[in-house]
């Protein structure tokens, strides 16, 4: 299997290999029962969109370009914090196939399971000569030994789960914006993107008393330069684990840690291994809600296949805090030929209040530039940030309010303000004059230099919307989107005829009508 972003072209030999592995886990148990109990589920989300992501400017004035109004999804529809807490945008035309089997083991209390989970990007059907893009969503083979049954319904058990197809979703952290060590977000951003083969993983979990602990391992192959001869594949290892509470009170505590190798730093043969090491902590509590849900942006409220039900008890509230501290092995920008462990930190606060007719959600996120680029080997390619450079962390405040008028009609308003992360390099020219550049950091593949002497400005995003549920199958959504972003640059002609950096028009106004069927 080879992967490019989210899309993974899955060879059909992979499901066959998974089936064979599941059979090896408990072949005798399956024969003893005469059959393996199983379940098959096919979920599909079809989204039809008519709209225009920017009605104020011609296509060439936007990045990405904005053509006239038309049918279909566009990159310009993305919310200000796309993928903040979900690996779905909500605008996908996709199907997910999940096959699951279960059989008792040879010993008392032992159960074996296997599952095939594939996601298909259906939009490629409409493209001529385009292959069907598929992704493994966590196919597994599992053995569980239950050695005690508790009164509260939580069993004490040891579980071994193997992921033989794609284990890149194994990572540390809960929120997509703060998770690390594996694929995150709708675009599957991951430090393992340069791998020359698939990522495999396995994890061992112990549920005992008031806590649950797990430990796992990931491997992937990377091409590494050799002193003599061509580059060859070498295995990189990752280890991770964590512990979390599982008491009945609405209070959650979780601690995760990990150390991940992902090839070597670019450079001569024998360069240090590229590594990401860190720890994450999550705390939460509330009443009536298991955990706070992220603010709603157009159709992006988690997985379209997981219905969000209002709390049975109102008023209900929940608050959660998550923090992460990483160190990445990078080349030292202040010492040629030396490597350094560069720090990267982030934190987030989520809160939700749901009353009889109101649902209010809030999120605050603070991320250092190095953390924003945790999946891209630093702000500067494979280099740490110089001590002489000035850093500005990313600060985002997101909020949404929904009116619970009925079970079928839900108007909402989402607001987001982001102060983008930035790094300002400092240097002097031959004449001793101070020079430098300010790099605006939005994420891997989205770093741009601002014009000289310019500083980044906050970005505003405003999205009113209305959802109408016509049935449990079909819903209609209408929305307006306004964004004010002074930081997007373009080349402009100066009075003397030379080209230089300038700014695009900051205002973007779009709209859309969408029908989404989920079954």
State residue 128's pLDDT score: 63
What number is the average pLDDT over the span 446-471? 89
* Region of poorest pLDDT, from 10-19, 248-257, 431-440: 10-19
Q: How many whole angstroms separate alpha carbon 366 and alpha carbon 52? A: 31
Q: Over range 106-127, report the average pLDDT.
A: 85
- What is the arithmetic mean of pLDDT over 320-346? 93
Structure tokens that stand for 45 in this block: 């989300």
Dihedral angle computed from the Cα positions of residues 139, 141, 146 and 150, in that order, rounded to the nearest 10 degrees: 0
Distances (CA, A) of 480 to 51, 375, 450: 10, 32, 29
Identify which of 32-36, 199-203, 357-361, 380-384 has the greatest average pLDDT. Answer: 199-203
Q: What does the alpha-carbon distance between residue 33 and residue 105 come to, in Å, rounded to a whole number?
A: 10
Domain assignment of residue 436, given as a range = 2-518
What CATH number should be reported for the domain holding residue 131? 2.40.170
Please tell me the pTM assigned to this model: 0.86
Tens of pLDDT along 94-110? 899 999 998 988 888 89
Question: Is the model's pLDDT at 395 over the cut of 90?
Answer: yes
- The confidence band for 85, taking pLDDT boundaries of 50, 70 and 90, is confident
Give the pLDDT score at 256: 97
Q: Over the range 178-195, which residues count as b (16 or more CB within 10 Å of their CB) and which as e?
A: bbbbbbbbbbbbbbbbeb
- Among residues 481, 476, 471, the alpha carbon closest in space to that of 511 is found at 481
Among the listed residues 176, 216, 224, the one whose alpha carbon sits nearest the alpha carbon of residue 199: 216
Least confident of 18-32, 399-413, 503-517: 18-32
Q: What token pair was written down for 225? A: 């330069």
For residue range 498-511, list pLDDT tens digits in order: 777 778 888 999 99
Backbone angles phi, psi at 333, to 5 degrees: -70, -20
Residues 243-269: tens digit of each pLDDT:
999 876 778 999 999 999 999 999 888
Domains in the chain, number: 1
Does the pLDDT at position 322 exceed 70?
Answer: yes
> Would you say 169 and 184 are in contact if contact means Cβ atoms under 8 Å apart?
no
Is the pLDDT higher at 377 or at 253?
Answer: 253
Region 376-384 average pLDDT: 85
pLDDT score at 11: 38
Whether pLDDT at 362 is above 90: yes
């Amino acid at each position: 299997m080879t992967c490019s972003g989210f899309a993974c072209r899955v060879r059909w030999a992979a499901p066959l290999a998974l089936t064979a592995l599941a059979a090896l886990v408990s072949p005798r148990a399956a024969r003893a029962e005469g059959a393996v109990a199983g379940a098959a589920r096919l979920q599909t989300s079809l989204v039809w969109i008519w709209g225009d992501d920017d009605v104020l400017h011609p296509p060439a004035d936007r990045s990405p370009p904005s053509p006239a109004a038309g049918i279909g999804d566009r990159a310009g529809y993305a919310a200000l914090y796309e993928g903040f807490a979900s690996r779905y945008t909500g605008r996908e035309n996709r199907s997910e196939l999940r096959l699951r089997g279960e059989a008792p083991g040879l010993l008392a209390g032992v159960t074996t399971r296997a599952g095939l989970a594939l996601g298909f990007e259906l939009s490629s059907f409409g493209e001529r000569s385009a292959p069907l893009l598929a992704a493994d969503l966590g196919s597994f083979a599992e053995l569980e030994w239950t050695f005690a049954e508790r009164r509260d319904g939580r069993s004490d058990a040891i579980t071994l789960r193997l992921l033989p197809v794609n284990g890149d979703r194994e990572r540390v952290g809960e929120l997509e914006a703060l998770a690390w060590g594996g694929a995150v977000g709708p675009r599957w951003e991951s430090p393992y993107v340069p791998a020359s083969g698939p990522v495999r993983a396995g994890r061992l979990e112990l549920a005992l008393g008031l806590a649950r602990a797990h430990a796992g391992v990931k491997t992937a192959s990377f091409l590494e330069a050799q002193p003599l001869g061509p580059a060859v594949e070498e295995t990189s290892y990752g280890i991770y684990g964590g512990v979390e509470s599982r008491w009945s009170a609405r209070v959650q505590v979780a601690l995760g840690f990990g150390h991940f190798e992902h090839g070597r730093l670019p450079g001569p043969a024998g360069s240090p291994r590229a590594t990401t090491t860190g720890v994450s902590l999550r705390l939460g509590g509330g009443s009536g809600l298991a955990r706070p849900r992220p603010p709603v942006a157009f159709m992006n409220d988690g997985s379209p296949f997981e219905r969000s039900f209002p709390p049975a008890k109102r008023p209900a509230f929940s608050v959660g805090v998550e923090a992460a501290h990483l160190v990445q092995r990078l080349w030292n920008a202040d010492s040629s030929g030396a490597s350094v462990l560069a720090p990267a930190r982030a934190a987030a606060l989520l809160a939700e209040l749901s009353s009889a007719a109101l649902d209010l959600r809030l999120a605050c996120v603070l991320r250092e530039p190095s953390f924003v680029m945790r999946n891209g080997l630093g702000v500067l390619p494979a280099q740490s940030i110089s001590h002489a450079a000035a850093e500005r962390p990313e600060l985002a405040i997101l909020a949404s309010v929904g009116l619970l008028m009925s079970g079928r009609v839900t108007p909402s308003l989402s607001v987001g303000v982001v102060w983008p992360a930035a790094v300002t390099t400092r240097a002097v020219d031959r004449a001793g004059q101070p020079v430098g550049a300010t790099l605006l950091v939005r994420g891997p593949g989205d770093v741009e230099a601002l014009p000289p002497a310019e500083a980044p400005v906050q970005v505003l995003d405003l999205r009113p919307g209305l959802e109408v549920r016509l049935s449990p199958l079909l819903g209609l959504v209408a929305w307006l989107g306004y964004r004010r972003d002074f930081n997007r640059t373009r080349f402009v002609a100066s009075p003397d005829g030379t080209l230089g950096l300038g700014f695009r028009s900051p205002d973007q106004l779009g709209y859309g009508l969408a029908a989404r069927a989920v079954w």
